[in-house]
Amino acid sequence: MYLDIWNDLPTNKIVGSVFSNDVPGNAMGDLKLGMPGLFAAAGYRIVDIGKFPIGSDDFSNYIQAFKKDNVEIVTGLFNPPEWATFLNQSAQMGFKPKVATIAKALLFPGGVAALGPRAEGMSTEIWWLPAYPFRSSLTGQSAAELASAYEAATKRDWTNRSASSTPCSRPGSPR
């Protein structure tokens, strides 16, 4: 999916890889078997200086390496606060990639809302939507019916949100 996003964009095909040092980050960010390996096989050059520890608050080494190697695409796996820190430090250091496709940090409205206008133009994968044309093999409910039942029962939007997030603006949203 990331390649489908990137292939039509005018970039130099140099990808800065920033993955967390935990089970999902190590799996997704593995240079051979993870996403960077797929990107390299598709003709992208990968700049990777290693995994970062969960809760990191200093990404300056990554940013310096990305600036040095003329990275135009940044990808990785971040928690929302880590991604916000990476963005703040990038701005302070004068690094502005053309493309940012980030796993986890942008999945839910709260993570995106916390970034404000800086989130404009970023991309991420989507794990599930009520519009999916599938039915549960257990209950027979459609994805839309499951989302509606959840919203009716909990009085909350179907997606996870932090208490400080703003309502999700999607068609048909009850809030």
Looking up residue 22, the CATH number of its domain turns out to be 3.40.50.2300
Q: Which domain, by its residues, includes 172?
A: 129-175
At 73, the pLDDT band (50, 70, 90 cuts) reads very high
Does 48 share its domain with 85?
A: yes
pLDDT of 164 over the 70 cut = no
pLDDT of 167 over the 80 cut = no
Does 31 share its domain with 99?
A: yes
Does 161 share its domain with 87?
A: no
Does 76 share its domain with 153?
A: no
Task: Calculate mean pLDDT across residues 40-53.
Answer: 97
Does 112 share its domain with 80?
A: yes
How many structural domains comprise the chain? 2
Query: Quick one: tokens of 137?
Result: 């093999």
Task: Calculate mean pLDDT across residues 59-77.
Answer: 98
Does 6 share its domain with 73?
A: yes
CA–chain centroid gap for 94, Å, is 21
Going by their DSSP bridges, the two strands 99-103 and 73-77 should be labelled as parallel
pLDDT of 172 over the 80 cut = no
pTM for this prediction: 0.78
Does 73 share its domain with 105?
A: yes
Predicted local confidence at residue 155, as pLDDT: 87
pLDDT of 137 over the 90 cut = no
CA atoms within 13 A on the CB side of 24: 7
pLDDT digits (tens, 9 = 90+) for 87-113: 999 999 999 999 999 999 988 778 888
pLDDT of 67 over the 70 cut = yes
Predicted local confidence at residue 71, as pLDDT: 98
Q: What sign does the dihedral 99-103-105-107 (CA atoms) show?
A: positive
